[in-house]
Amino acid sequence: MPLLGRRPIGVLGGTFDPIHYGHLRPALELLDALELAEIRFVPCRIPAHRGTPWVTAEQRLTLVRLATTGQPGFVTDDRELRREGPSYMVDTLASLRADFPDAPLCLIVGTDAFRELHTWRCWRDLSGLAHIVVMQRPGVLQPLPPPLDAFIAPRVIHAAPALRRRLAGDVLFQPVTQLDISATRIRALLARGQSPRYLLPEAVLAYIHDRGLYRSPLASTLVTA
């Protein structure tokens, strides 16, 4: 199989409200298992598919920076904060493709986000811009919605080296350590005055406490739209 010879770049978008070990540990495992050149963490400015985040985009970006600084291969990417309007992944991938014309791109999603993929703007175009790598996440049931299933089935590959064969278009399901951690739960703990320690990096928690983030009881009711 001819390889492009370039290691793929991983792209992990999210609200990161806040970032936690359920994002970070699977990302590190993907970095190693798929031999990615790097993983770019891309916090959204305005989430397209859910309610307004509880803290500002700049604060969520800072939390991502604090969590990723010092880990080789982890990059904080602020491009969605520099763009007006809702943060659509198709625009983000197009912008990354322009920046990295010769590198395979891997859009990394958790199982829950993957199941909603067919609701994303121009979702079929995503696979023209990047491979899709699904991190297996606990508590999410199969089967896939029919339109997504039909689209994905012919694109599934079973080995990471194939991701280097072309710039985009494959789908890989990659098992990762199951960490049943969610930002929703962390916000709820903080809103109740309980500690989310050991669910997220100390530096992230220190910033949250320092700025008094997620303190309002309303934060615990903020759920996915």
Binding site for ligand ATP (CB under 6 A): 14-17, 22-23, 26, 109-110, 112-113, 135, 137, 179, 181-184, 224
Three-state DSSP at 63 gives helix
Which uninterrupted H or E stretch holds 43?
A: strand 38-43
Of 22, 67, 21, nearest in space to 207 by CA: 67
- Is there a contact between 188 and 220 (Cβ–Cβ < 8 Å)? yes
Q: Tokens 């070990």 sit at which residue?
A: 21
Report the distance separating Cα 142 and Cα 145, nearest Å. Answer: 9
Whichever of 95 and 220 has its CB closer to ligand ATP, that residue is 220
State the minimum distance, in angstroms, from the CB of residue 102 to ligand ATP.
26
State the minimum distance, in angstroms, from the CB of residue 101 to ligand ATP.
25
Q: Classify 102 in phi/psi space as left (phi over 0), alpha (psi -120 to 50) or beta.
A: alpha
Residue nearest to ligand ATP (CB): 110
State the minimum distance, in angstroms, from the CB of residue 167 to ligand ATP.
21
Report the distance separating Cα 95 and Cα 80, nearest Å. Answer: 10
Listed in order, strand segments (DSSP E) in the chain are: 9-14, 38-43, 74-76, 105-110, 131-135, 156-157, 171-174
State the minimum distance, in angstroms, from the CB of residue 25 to ligand ATP.
8
Residue type, 69: T
State the minimum distance, in angstroms, from the CB of residue 2 to ligand ATP.
31
Whichever of 100 and 120 has its CB closer to ligand ATP, that residue is 120
Whichever of 56 and 161 has its CB closer to ligand ATP, that residue is 56
Whichever of 105 and 135 has its CB closer to ligand ATP, that residue is 135
Q: Which residues does residue 115 pair with via DSSP β-bridges, in sequence order?
A: none
State the minimum distance, in angstroms, from the CB of residue 31 to ligand ATP.
14
